[in-house]
Amino acid sequence: MDKKEIDMKKGYKVVRKRTLLSYIINGIGDVLRYKVNKWIKPRKGCGPICIFNTIEDAKKFKRDNHTIYECLYERSPEHRVYNGNEGESIFHLPRGTILATKVKLLRRIR
């Protein structure tokens, strides 16, 4: 881990099993493919990445075909997720959602 990563926060990312594709809610956001130990940023024109602050909130959100990864993240100053002009406020997202400007999966939890 480099010096910059030491200042990053730890969170939890829910992704699809095997493919490590992100999960989107009601078509909001953009599907991203994650790789372990690689930084991922939102695509151009898309808002921040959603992660969870606690493992408990991630477990409540997870579905059968999903898995949870511990991750490092850089917190976003934004308060909504969006794909182009469509979007949702952080207040309408699942409990414990945190918005990030970049995310790095570290290890599979469940």
Residue 27: what pLDDT?
Answer: 55
Question: Which ranges of the chain does DSSP label H, i.e. alpha helix?
Answer: 3-6, 55-61
Residue 106: what pLDDT?
Answer: 97
Residue 57: what pLDDT?
Answer: 96
| Terminal Cα-to-Cα distance of the chain (whole angstroms) | 23
Residue 81: what pLDDT?
Answer: 81
Mean per-residue pLDDT pooled into runs of 10, the chain (110 residues): 68 94 66 93 87 95 92 93 67 87 94
State the burial class of residue 98 (Cβ atoms within 10 Å of its Cβ: 0-12, 13-18, 19+): buried
